[in-house]
Structure 1
């Protein structure tokens, strides 16, 4: 057995609690502040990127890998696919092509 399967998963619990804090911070910004729409969107987007990075490190064990080059390539590929999907969806919804 390796060290990750022993004991209480404290790092996962910490990551989960921190993810909840970021989610509720975004909820608070969206519902309880009188900021402009653009400011709210930028703050929520920033919190989302922070939460995605947190989850990569805490839950997907990005820092624990033996082959960090392959993990980096996989992460970059995933980001590329996400950007292409979002940009393509916006293009189709905006221009109808």
Structure 2
């Protein structure tokens, strides 16, 4: 066997597929043409420019609606990158590419959803009534001053 030619691990020694000079890589994955790359580039630019214009021009007033629109553009852009630049489809490498992509999407989704959930609950459950702006000027509440007779005298002297 030549140095540049290796046996396939699943085939017994000596059995070769005749590829007529084509390498194995081209048989499994289709590489994009220049037209595919240009199409992907143009779509990526458009899918970046439109959200940029929406945000900078403040075309959508509601922050939640803006977030949904931006996430939709981001999802479409991910699909464009996967199709036109990574050349992933359900047929490449026996479907393993698609399976690994689905697994990655699920893990990223769980991570993002969990992070947003934790941040929302941290923000919601923090105690805003203890912030310095909301603290009362007096250190002892009025109800406690009445139950402590010596406290009223001290408070009047402090004023």
Pick the structure with greater CA Rg: 2
2:97 to 56, 63, 71: 71
Among residues 37, 62, 73, which one is paired with 1:12 in the alignment? 37
Gaps of 5+ in 2: 1-21, 123-159
Q: How far is the alpha carbon of 1:23 from its aligned partner?
A: 0.5
The runs of at least 4 aligned residues of structure 1 exceeding 4 Å deviation read: none
How many pairs does the alignment contain? Answer: 93
Greater relative contact order structure (CA < 8 Å, 6+ sep) = 1
Say which structure is richer in helix: 1
CA RMSD in angstroms, aligned pairs only: 2.3
> Unpaired runs of 5+ in structure 1?
none
- Equivalent residues in 2 for 1:9-88 (5 A)? 9-32=34-57, 33-63=59-89, 65-68=92-95, 70-88=96-114
Partner SS for 1:50: helix
TM-score by length of 1: 0.78
